[in-house]
Amino acid sequence: MIDHCRQVFLEEGDELLAELEIALLELEQSPADGGLVDRIFRALHTIKGSSAMFGYDGVAAFSHEMETVFDLVRDGGISVSRDLVALTLQARDLLKEMLLLPVANSAALEGRARQLIDSFRMMVPVEAELALPEPGTGASVPAALTSFLIRYSAGRDTFRMGANPVHLFNELRMLGECRVRALTEAIPALEELEPTFCYLSWEIELATECGLDAIRDVFIFADYDEVEIVPLETVANDVGAAEVLAASDAPIATSGEAAVEGPVYEAISSIRVSAGKLDSLVNLVGELVTVQARLTQTAAGRDDHNLLALAEELERLTGDLRDNTLSIRMLPIGSTFSRLRRLVHDLAGELGKEIDLVTEGGETELDKTVIEKLADPLVHLIRNCIDHGIETPAVREAAGKSRLGRLRLTAIHSGDCVQISISDDGKGIDRDVLRARAVERGVIPTGAVLSDTELLNLIFTPGLSTTTMITNVSGRGVGMDVVRKGVDLLRGAITVASSKGEGTTFTLRIPLTLAIIESLLVRVGNESYVLPLSLVEECIELSRADVARSNGRHLVNVRGAIVPYIPLRQRFGVVDQAPDREQVVITEVEGKRVGLVVDQVIGEHQTVIKSLGRVFRDVAGLSGATILGDGAVALILDVPQIVHAEELAECGA
């Protein structure tokens, strides 16, 4: 039991440290943003609390020190600077290491902790030095008795969250003398009253010695509420306070922050589930889908209306179950992008380059395992861009570019794939150097004629590198090979485009799910095939007359528009006579409409994807197989590949 709780603590600790890192990197970009400082403070505060609970004393003590430092930052005692952020990032890394050590034994790291604390102390300006408390006490600067006017509006969902404002008032009472007044204007008439909502706000007068920070700390977890803290002139009697109350409308900002607004989002309760359980669930759903398809087929063969109705109902439910289950494993890629920020930040610093990382499409969702497997290739690609692509500021300036190099990461859904691109505005790939290197290494013969694409794809050859220097970041010619293998494992594809002097773009296309897709079942010759329904626009008939009319050109007229088609019978080498009436399945691929001619369109089919294995991996036009309801195997068509191959064939390439 304890172990389970500790596991949860460690996982949450990880998340908090990740959040801390993100906030710190953002703070470097926007040093004046007090909200970020608060986020950092909250994260440290939570780490301190929970680590103390689980006996990680070293962690608790150290995070307490950092909390104190950021307290001073909040007050303006220490200004936010690159050095502060760098130091705090180091401290965060130390915390992470401390958490990894088996149960609370962080004595070994304490030396480093002390060093960091000393460095932090150096940042504190001399006058405030006096105010810096002894480590371990954490008390705020004692002040004379000050009166504060606090306006507190509880969020609507306060009661539903299980919070009770009275607890807050009791905590305030511990700070000093307190007078609480409830404001009831917002309560609606009884008919409109929603009993679970909180319509109340309060005005509280508090006379305390403890200072503004102590009051802020009371409300530290009041995310969803609005709090305004206004210090009044030190007043001797209540009358004075009441006057000030009436007179002041707007709150006076103190040290940049008096109003604390919570993030505007509904609290989503969540639950942790082990990935293994999810995998079994997805497998079971896959099997269920297959059996349900067979049931539907069997029911269609009988003449039993009840059975048919039940089969339909089951189909609908199975579809919902499948959609829900697959979406459980979908996560936004933004979290990966954020982790990469740290890498870019550190790498840029290490290599002396100035880099601006721009991300787009962070909300694009991918299956969890896909995201995990993508992390490595992305890291290698970014390393490549920063090390080889983007030039040093001096070189860039000389070339007339801005000193700041730009690295763009984008993710977008495209059909049933996700397209991720990494582009830099660096110096691009030097094709001559690449060619020379490849010939030198014996990868290609001297006189070889290669298309531009083939030439650029050489960069993925293991052992091939165009740099003369090997840094500890790259240069051994290993990274790109890892990228390609990684992308292959995900059944994806990677292409590279590059322009000398202007930059390079890597584009990865990864299928969205590894498991189940909605598809259209068709027949060509004696075999059945499926293609993703998301690509299909419509199906039209193609008669012999139509074919004759187009004089051997594979074009068809669809309501006035010309659509090219690919006769799959020819493509697949089917020798027997085609039926009189064939069907053209009009698909849209990369913005273009292409028809695929099949003998028959059978209908929709929920496809559980089975890999064809290594033996057939290189067969063009197929991306897998599936088992049909009657046990037969149907092949899954890779439409973009088929179209692409046809394009190449017609160009005579």
Partner 1 sequence: MRPYETDHSVKGERDMQDGAAAETTQYLTFKLANEVFALDIGKVREVLDFTAVTRIPGTPDFMRGVINLRGSVVPVVDMRLKFGMPAIDQGVNTCIIIVEITVDGETTVLGAMADAVQEVLDLDPDRIEPAPRIGTRLNINFIRGMGKRDDQFIIILDIDKIFSLAELTTVLDLEGEEKAAANS
**Helix spans in 332-430 (H):** 334-351, 368-384, 393-398
Near partner 1 by CB under 8 A: residue from 228, 612, 629, 647 = 612
**Residue 595 interacts with partner 1 (CB under 8 A)?**
no
Name the β-bridge partners of 587: 536, 594
Which CB sits closer to partner 1, 602 or 627? 627
Question: What CA–CA distances, in Å, run from 370 to 341, 411, 560?
Answer: 20, 13, 42
Binding flag, residue 634, partner 1 (CB under 8 A): yes
Percent of the chain that is helix, strand, coil (3-state, to 5): 45, 25, 35
Of 141, 622, 629, 644, the one binding partner 1 (CB under 8 A) is 622
Tokens linked to 500: 């000398």
> Which of 445, 614, 651, 653 forms a contact with partner 1 (CB under 8 A)?
614
396 vs 571, beta carbon nearer partner 1: 571
**Residue nearer to partner 1 on the CB measure, 362 or 525:** 525
* Residue 572 lies near partner 1 (rule: CB under 8 A): yes
Report the 10 Å Cβ neighbour count for 235: 17
Least Å distance, CB 572 to partner 1, is: 4
* 141 part of the interface to partner 1, by CB under 8 A: no
Q: Which of 355, 341, 434, 420 is nearest to 387 (CA)?
A: 355
Beta bridge partners of 592: 589
Straight-line distance from the first to the last Cα atom of the chain, in angstroms, rounded to the nearest whole number: 66
* Residue 51 vs 626, nearer CB to partner 1: 626
Nearer to partner 1, 7 or 611 (CB): 611
Q: How far is the CB of 287 from partner 1 (least distance, A)?
A: 8
571 belongs to the binding site for partner 1 (CB under 8 A): yes
CB atoms within 10 A of CB 54: 18
Quick one: 270 or 526, whose CB is closer to partner 1? Answer: 526
Q: Return the residue of 344, 625, 639, 643 that touches partner 1, per CB under 8 A.
A: 625
Residue 494: is it exposed, middle or buried by C-beta count within 10 angstroms (0-12/13-18/19+)? Answer: buried
Chain positions 487 to 526 lying near partner 1, rule: CB under 8 A, are 526
- Residue 577: phi, psi to the nearest 5? -60, 135
In whole angstroms, what is the distance from residue 402 CA to residue 399 CA? 9
Answer yes or no: are the C-beta atoms of 198 and 205 closer than 8 Å: no
Tell which one of 11, 213, 238, 287 touches partner 1 (CB under 8 A).
287
Q: Are 80 and 27 in contact (CB under 8 A)?
A: yes
Which x/- pattern, by CB under 8 A, does the window 522-561 give for partner 1? ----xxx---------------------------------
Binding residues with partner 1: total (CB under 8 A): 31
Which residue's structure tokens are 């259209």? Answer: 520
User: Smallest gap, in angstroms, from Cβ of residue 56 to partner 1?
Assistant: 40
Whole-number Cα distances in Å, 356 to 54, 339, 409, 481: 40, 15, 11, 26
Which of the stretches 7-15, 60-68, 378-386, 619-627 binds partner 1 when contact is defined by CB under 8 A? 619-627
632 binds partner 1 (CB under 8 A): yes
Candidate residues 103, 615, 651, 653; the one interacting with partner 1 per rule CB under 8 A: 615
Q: C-beta of 608: minimal distance to partner 1 in Å?
A: 9
Among 627, 629, 641, 644, binds partner 1 (CB under 8 A): 627
* Interaction of residue 635 with partner 1, rule CB under 8 A: yes
Host H or E run for residue 24: helix 2-29
Stretch of 60-68, 408-416, 480-488, 604-612 contacting partner 1, by CB under 8 A? 604-612
- Applying CB under 8 A, among 264, 269, 618, 653 the residue interacting with partner 1 is 618
As a whole number of angstroms, the distance between CA 88 and CA 92 comes to 6
| Residue 193 binding partner 1, by CB under 8 A | no
Question: Cβ closer to partner 1: 58 or 640?
Answer: 640
Using rule CB under 8 A, residue 576 touches partner 1: no
CA contacts within 13 A on the Cβ side of 56: 25
Would you call 42 helix, strand, or coil by DSSP? Answer: helix
Q: Which of 219, 13, 2 is nearest to 101 (CA)?
A: 13
Q: Which two tokens stand for residue 219?
A: 């409300």
Binding site for partner 1 (CB under 8 A): 287, 290, 526-528, 570-573, 610-622, 625, 627, 631-635, 645, 649
